[in-house]
């Protein structure tokens, strides 16, 4: 972090700030010239918010040169993190991992039909919401514990790992029992109380990007989980809110590249919530594979017209199967494995 003092600032103001920082065990490297007082702050500056330093008299400009997140950053760990899930699935390496299933778990029959089909098409992990964070309190809220039990049952039957969204920290013990990956939804990305609690479990966490979150805010949320001791974090780009209304959200495909540069954590893409339209899913999935994402999470339904949530963005079973064939062809060219 670099601090530049104002032209008319005094040595006393400079010393006061330097003393404050030294008390935080940070090293100061002076780079002042005859014209201007400037210094660099060396060491772990993650506990300092640059904007707080403007409270000191004489400060003109504070510039961060390192990222505010530490454990999640590429400079902290050069090698890519690989998150191991059961059945030999590894997210973050050369495997392109497919999570597929309905938006919501609706019934045992529905989940079984979809799970069997996506498994046959080559999916690795079954998705399905048991607790549904809906914009309207009158919309289907999910089967809750019953839904978790169904996911476990059908996951065991089809030998698919399970990913599903957690709404609150009190449910962690239940999720530890029933699921393989705990999903943090976009609306909860900055629920710091939940993130802290998830730092205490060792289950892999799928951290969705918030609706209006910057890449830095998203990685700071990953940092919350990692700071608590859980380093099994998988990031998920699911589209962000922009002024564009033609699609449900705007898929920020460049975020995959940005995150891979800034962090060692794996990153997957959710084209379903990004586009909000089933007819765009295949092409966006191919783009995600091409750009270097480590996998996808896709909504699939056997009867989208009657789905209790997100039918418009759900792929029919045969469309999902066709998409998998296309992805396999491209993954081969790219040297990625979908097995």
Under 8 Å between Cβ of 297 and 99: yes
Instruction: State in angstroms the smallest separation of the CB of 128 from Mn ion.
Output: 10
| By CB under 5 A, residue 310 contacts Mn ion | yes
DSSP symbols for 193-248? HHHHHHTTS-S-EEEEPPTT--HHHHHHHHHHHHHTT---EEEEE--B--S--SSS
Q: Residue 238's binding partner, choosing from Mn ion, ligand PEP, none, with beta-carbon cut-off 5 to 8 A by kind?
A: ligand PEP
Question: Minimum distance between the CB of residue 185 and Mn ion, rounded to whole angstroms?
Answer: 9
186 binds, among ligand PEP, Mn ion, none (CB under 5 to 8 A by kind): ligand PEP
Residue 185 near which of ligand PEP, Mn ion, none (CB within 5-8 Å, type-dependent): ligand PEP
Nearer to ligand PEP, 53 or 287 (CB): 287
Closest separation in Å from C-beta 318 to Mn ion: 20
Minimum CB separation from ligand PEP for residue 55, in Å?
Answer: 36
From the list 112, 127, 195, 216, the residue with the least C-alpha distance to 163 is 127
335 CB-contact burial (10 Å; exposed 0-12 / middle 13-18 / buried 19+): exposed
Check residue 103 for interaction with Mn ion (CB under 5 A).
Answer: yes
Rounded Cα gap, residues 26 and 178, in angstroms: 45
Q: Give the angle subtended at the CA of 286 by the CAs of 320 and 277, to the nearest 5°.
A: 55
CA dihedral 209, 215, 216, 222 (to 10 degrees): 40
The CB-of-6 to ligand PEP minimum distance in angstroms stands at 44
> Which does residue 208 bind out of ligand PEP, Mn ion, none, counting CB within 5 to 8 angstroms by kind?
ligand PEP
Q: Which is nearer to Mn ion, 223 or 310 (CB)?
A: 310
Could you give the C-alpha distances from 142 to 40, 62, 185, 214, in angstroms and in order?
52, 47, 14, 29
Cβ proximity to ligand PEP: between 220 and 296 the closer is 296
Which residue lies nearer to Mn ion by CB, 48 or 103? Answer: 103
Nearer to ligand PEP, 238 or 302 (CB): 238
**Residues that bind ligand PEP in the complex, under the rule CB under 6 A:** 103, 129, 133, 165, 185-187, 208, 238, 270, 273
Distance CA 48, CA 40 (A): 13
User: From the CB of 247, what's the least distance to ligand PEP, in Å?
Assistant: 14
Nearest approach, Cβ of 80 to Mn ion (angstroms)? 28
Helix (H) or strand (E) holding 43: none
Under 8 Å between Cβ of 218 and 188 = no
Helix (H, G, I), strand (E, B) or coil at 83: strand
Which lies closer to Mn ion via its Cβ, residue 133 or residue 173? 133
Q: How many CB atoms lie within 10 A of CB 149?
A: 17
H-helix or E-strand spanning residue 258? helix 254-262
Nearer residue to ligand PEP within complex by CB, 187 or 196: 187
231, interface contact from Mn ion, ligand PEP, none, CB < 5-8 Å by kind: none
C-beta nearest to Mn ion: residue = 103
**Contact partner, 282, from ligand PEP, Mn ion, none, Cβ < 5-8 Å per class:** none
Minimum distance of Mn ion from residue 181's CB (angstroms): 16
For binding to Mn ion (CB under 5 A), which residues are involved?
103, 310
């Amino acid at each position: 972090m670099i601090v530049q003092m104002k032209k008319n600032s005094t040595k006393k103001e400079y010393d006061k700030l330097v003393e404050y920082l030294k008390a935080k065990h940070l090293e100061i490297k002076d780079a002042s010239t005859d014209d201007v007082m400037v210094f660099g702050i060396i060491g772990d500056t993650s506990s300092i918010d640059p904007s707080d330093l403007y409270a000191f008299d004489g400060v003109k400009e504070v510039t961060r040169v390192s990222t505010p997140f530490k454990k999640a950053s590429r400079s902290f760990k050069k090698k890519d993190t690989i998150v191991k899930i059961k059945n030999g699935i590894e997210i973050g390496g050369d495997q392109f991992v497919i999570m597929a299933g309905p938006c919501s778990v609706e019934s045992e029959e529905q989940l079984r039909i979809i799970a069997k089909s996506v498994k046959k098409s080559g999916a690795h992990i079954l998705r399905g919401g048991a607790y549904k964070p809906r914009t309207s309190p009158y919309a289907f809220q999910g089967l809750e514990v019953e839904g978790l039990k169904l996911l476990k049952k059908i996951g065991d039957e089809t030998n698919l790992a399970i990913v599903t969204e957690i709404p609150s920290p009190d449910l962690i013990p239940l999720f530890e029992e029933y699921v393989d990956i705990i999903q943090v939804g976009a609306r909860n990305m900055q629920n710091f109380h939940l993130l802290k609690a998830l730092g205490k479990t060792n289950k892999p966490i799928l951290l969705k990007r918030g609706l209006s979150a910057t890449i830095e805010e998203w990685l700071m949320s990953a940092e919350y989980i990692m700071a608590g001791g859980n380093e099994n974090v998988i990031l998920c780009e699911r589209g962000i809110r922009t002024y564009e209304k033609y699609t449900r959200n705007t898929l920020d495909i460049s975020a995959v590249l940005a995150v891979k540069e800034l962090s060692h954590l794996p990153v997957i893409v959710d084209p379903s919530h990004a586009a909000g339209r089933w007819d765009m899913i295949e092409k966006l999935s191919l783009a995600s594979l091409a750009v270097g994402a480590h996998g996808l999470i896709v909504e699939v339904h056997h009867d989208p017209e009657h789905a209790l949530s997100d039918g418009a963005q759900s792929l029919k079973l045969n469309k999902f199967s066709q998409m998998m064939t296309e992805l396999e062809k491209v993954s081969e060219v790219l040297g990625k494995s979908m097995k």
